[in-house]
Amino acid sequence: QEKKIFVVQGPYPVMRSLLRARGWVEKKLPRAGRQPVQQHPRSPWPPEEEEEEEKEEEQRDEDPDGIHNFMSHLVQDQVPYFIWTNHLGAIDCQMLRQDQVVNHYAQAGAFATKEGLCLNLRNLPWVHQADPDTFFPRCYRLGAVDERQAFIEDFRLTAARSLLKVALERAGDTPAGTEQPLKSGKGPGNHVPHPMPSTVGPGPLLPPQLVEQALQVCGQHLGSLGHEDIDGDPPFPRMTGTDWDRFLRDYYRVVHEGAGLALSGAQQERCRALLRGLAGRLPQLAVEGDRNVWILKPGAKSRGRGIVCTTQLEEVLQLAQRCMAPSVRPGEWVVQKYVERLLLVFGTKFDIRQWILVTNWNPLTVWFYRDSYLRFCSQPFSLRHLDPARHLCNVSIQKRYPLAQGWHPRLPLDRIWSCRQLQAYLAQVGRAEAWHQVMVPGMKAAVLGALRSAQDLVVSRKSSFELYGADFVFGEDCQPWLLEINVSPTMAPSSAVTSRLCASVQRDVLRVVIDRRDDPTCPTGAFELIYKE
């Protein structure tokens, strides 16, 4: 009569325990239904939960007296009114009643896959007057011909800008427009200095024409950004494909092999002026670095599977060729600019998992969790070594690697921090206000931008809700950069921090989606309502 019957499918013993404590009775799925669910045609993206984590979590779901099993038997033929699954494919959405509460929305892949986020954020300026380039690193779908060509152009232009930066750095000059106001080197052990090789490297000194080419390319690009190229021909001929191949070969020699680079005084001044002009037009100039690192990602996989970092255009294009095979779904792989100028903690890369709760898509209603956690890499950050141990923060990736020799004693042995530990660290290095003034507001704005860009594509349902896990890194200035948003974020207790926080977020989800229906003034725990349309 009170409609307190629930179904939980997947590794969620905490959720089961919380519901039972509220007087709810579980309707248990058949054993086949408790195994990982086959992908549903309307939801072609995987849950983040891992099979081994699921088995481990299920074993913790104890019922020593058998009372819960007995009560479940009594309601086996009844309708469940709260359904929590790790995948929408476990539910026949067309058979749902209006009063059945479900923890998923259909078509959330519009923003909760790498491909969907890449595609739909481009619509953001039209629906929200916001620029995704200020919080989402540039991204292209390799299976789409026009986007692959746009990536090639972007890679070439980035190489030209990078060459100018390297030329100035080797001349002992900080490239204009690439400074960041809050340098990670202000804290002890926090900064990995970017190498500044001498003008003459191990190879022969390359001719000044290389810098001249980069200056011409960047000048033309700045003109196009300012729409100065609409009338008339460019002052210099456009570079051909062969010209670019030769330029990139020399660029690789300079940046990655340390070849010498000649730079005249006049060229130095032009480099400064061009980079200053480009900084006003390109929001990512300060964080894109000078090594032109890009990251290749399978469009619909989670937990860091299949991700590769590269500095070689040829490697990306070889993968793109495979993406065009008839057996591969178009646009399945994406390539994204790697954030090279990162905020580090004791020389180590980290990202943040931030929880977001959507309780309505029309009107859009978004909750932001005040607590989050950091995931550290196992090895010191280095752009000269692009292995996963240094660059992919996913727990499922890092657990394959041992901690680095000389692991800083203040870094966690389990590679996990709470956001409060990060705040304490920032305070110790003189950046106490960064979390509340820069990082949190930036994460909120990025999440809202991503959700609003896909709002018309997600299937709204009044009795549904969904918890998402958004992943961020931060530039040296503490500005957040959104990497991806995940459905069914893992609740596996991989550390003491995640054991506590994952239990808390599940408790507070129930406060928002169940308790508030009867009492709109009830406490919502650490969830903050940040947007209601």
412-436 per-position pLDDT tens digit:
999 999 999 999 999 999 999 999 9
Q: Stretch 444-458: mean pLDDT, rounded? A: 97
Q: Stretch 113-120: mean pLDDT, rounded? A: 93
At residue 194 the predicted structure's pLDDT band, cuts being 50, 70 and 90, is: very low
Does residue 23 have a pLDDT over 50? yes
pLDDT digits (tens, 9 = 90+) for 465-476: 999 999 999 999
More confident residue, 110 or 39: 110
How does the average pLDDT of the chain come out, rounded? 87
Peptide bond connecting 11 to the previous residue in cis, omega within 30 degrees of 0: no
Whole-angstrom distance, CA of residue 532 vs CA of residue 365: 4
Q: Stretch 382-387: mean pLDDT, rounded? A: 96
pLDDT of residue 300: 53
Which of 271-280, 297-306, 389-398 bottoms out in mean pLDDT, i.e. has the lowest? 297-306
Which of 25-39, 151-165, 359-373, 459-473 bottoms out in mean pLDDT, i.e. has the lowest? 25-39
pTM above 0.75, yes or no: yes
pLDDT of residue 320: 73
* Total residues found in the chain within this entry: 533
Q: Beta-carbon neighbour count of residue 464 at 10 Å?
A: 25
pLDDT of residue 48: 61
Instruction: Give the rounded percent of residues in the chain with a pLDDT score beyond 90.
Output: 69
| Residues 45, 323, 458, 440, CA torsion sign | positive
Q: Stretch 228-253: mean pLDDT, rounded? A: 80
pLDDT of residue 69: 87
Q: Stretch 83-89: mean pLDDT, rounded? A: 91
Q: Measured at the alpha carbon of residue 285, what is the angle toward residues 283 and 289, in degrees to the nearest 5?
A: 145
Q: Stretch 273-281: mean pLDDT, rounded? A: 96
Whole-angstrom distance, CA of residue 446 vs CA of residue 183: 22
23: closest CA among 66, 68, 65?
Answer: 68
pLDDT of residue 185: 42
Q: Beta-carbon neighbour count of residue 328 at 10 Å?
A: 13
pLDDT of residue 91: 85
pLDDT digits (tens, 9 = 90+) for 210-238: 999 999 999 999 999 987 655 555 556 78
pLDDT digits (tens, 9 = 90+) for 339-362: 999 999 999 999 999 999 999 999
pLDDT of residue 50: 45
At residue 41 the predicted structure's pLDDT band, cuts being 50, 70 and 90, is: very low
Whole-angstrom distance, CA of residue 193 vs CA of residue 476: 12
Domains and CATH numbers, the chain: 1-29+65-84 (no CATH), 114-135+342-532 (3.30.470.20), 138-172+205-228+235-338 (no CATH)
At residue 127 the predicted structure's pLDDT band, cuts being 50, 70 and 90, is: confident
pLDDT of residue 40: 42
